[in-house]
Amino acid sequence: MWQRAALATARVNRKPVRGDAVKPQVSSAKSRAALWLWLLESCVLMVVVAAAAWLRFMRDSDSYLFFLGTAPVRILVVAAFITTAMAAFGLYQVHVRHNRTDFVLRLVLSFAFGGVALLVLYYLVPAAYIGRGVLALALALGLMLIFALRLVMQSLGHIETFRRRVLVLGAGRNANLINTRLRRRSDRRSFSLVGFVAVPGQEVVVADAVVLEDVMGLADLARRLQVHEIVVALDERRGGMPMEAMLACVQRGVSMTDLSTFFEREAGVVTMSIADPSWLVFSGGFDHSMPRRLTKRLFDLLAAGALLLVAWPVMLVVMACVWVDSGGPVLYRQTRVGEDGSAFELVKFRSMRADAEQSGVAQWASADDKRSTRVGRFIRMTRLDELPQLFNVLRGDMSFVGPRPERPQFVDRLNQDIRYYNVRHCMKPGLTGWAQLRYPYGASVRDAEEKLKFDLFYVKNHGLLFDLMILLQTVEVVLFRRGAR
């Protein structure tokens, strides 16, 4: 569909229209869409509060009449607090891509934090209080209705209204990566691709049907196509950057985005073939501030401690099964590379024969590895062999979420073969991680390179909410046995 739209737009804009006056845009479509969405959901929440009060006081007319006396202000306050919390959790950043789990978590946290903020307000300003029963009903009904509203909008295709209209500056190999790596509809949930603008003197690789001729200037082309964002995807930047035209676009409210940043935002990866050191240095991220280190350590202790309290009976059963099945040591200790390249001893339940590496040469595990024991194959498939690493987390060698630690022999090789591989060691390795959710088990240099794209994304963008998201999605990976070997 986007190709047909781009082709039609290209035909319209191949020739300049004489006398076409430039009309200033009061606001972008994205801003209008976000505003309308906020207004709609604010109205829904106000109706919900009124309905909750009616349900709560339907048999007590005096209390209901008392509530109606100051109802407009109190209802508006509830809607304002909840929508503000939703905005704080990024639910009105309509160009940001959220999967279903991410959206549900953000929505639940928004209502939870909004509800807590309202309770604080009621303590400070008792006149604003609407009652515990009304508040509880309003939060429950509001959560369900907002979730249903977003689902209906998405199912009807109205979400297209909230997508950013993206124009790509460049039509060569780098620009074509958007077609090859973001070609599915699910990959383009947050943006609509308007077309590509070829740069004189550079190779054109994308299909001619989606190439737009820049006959009127980049800024005017962006205005006519109602473009919100221009992605700079040139194969050669030296001497090829139309800086004056790009500056004119920025002055008209069109954002300029580097291709590496675009892939990081839309695909959740750092594309190493186009990322250069200067981008890594200046693109932000890599938060190692004291508040972040403290919150991450607190999260590690709480998550590992809670899981250990639940899992210790299972761990005892696994220990017994390993000993009965193959005898010998129950635990397997192995040297891994941790933060800043330091070595530490990782602990797992033994899943292979005691002489699995009798030759002394480190080997990646393979599918249907013959070195695995009967119990070992099961505990590797269900990830039960990883449970002793909870003690590594409590001890501080590992974090609950982070890049998975590799063995020194593999790290030495991968540092030589893969660009930026050592960057993943700027933080503690994790029991689970973004790469484990997005890529199956790796057993080669090629797999390690693909997983590094996700590891670098996590290293650059890690945060408390992201950690919680990964923790919840790990449950799905374990239940459906994805990526285990």
Note the pLDDT tens digit of each residue in 389-430: 999 999 999 999 999 999 999 999 999 999 999 999 999 999
- So what's the pLDDT on residue 60? 63
Q: What pLDDT is stored for residue 427 in this prediction?
A: 95
| Residue 480: band (very low, low, confident or very high) from pLDDT cuts 50, 70, 90 | low
**CA angle, corner 191, sides to 189 and 195, nearest 5?**
130
Q: What is the pTM of this model?
A: 0.69
Residue 168 phi/psi, 5-degree rounding, is -100, 125
> What number of other Cβ atoms are within 10 A of residue 448's Cβ?
22
pLDDT at res. 93: 61
Residue 13: what pLDDT?
42
H helical segments located in 58-131: 61-69, 71-88, 100-124
DSSP 199: P
CATH class of the domain comprising 165-267: alpha beta
Residue 212's beta-bridge partner residues? Answer: 197
220 SS3 class: helix
**22 CB-contact burial (10 Å; exposed 0-12 / middle 13-18 / buried 19+):** exposed
Q: Could you state, in order of their start, the residue ranges of all structural domains in the chain?
A: 29-158, 165-267, 290-353+366-480
Each residue of 215-268: pLDDT tens digit? 778 999 999 999 999 999 999 888 778 899 999 999 999 999 999 999 988 888
Tokens of 152: 């209906």
**Ramachandran angles phi, psi of 181, nearest 5°:** -105, -15
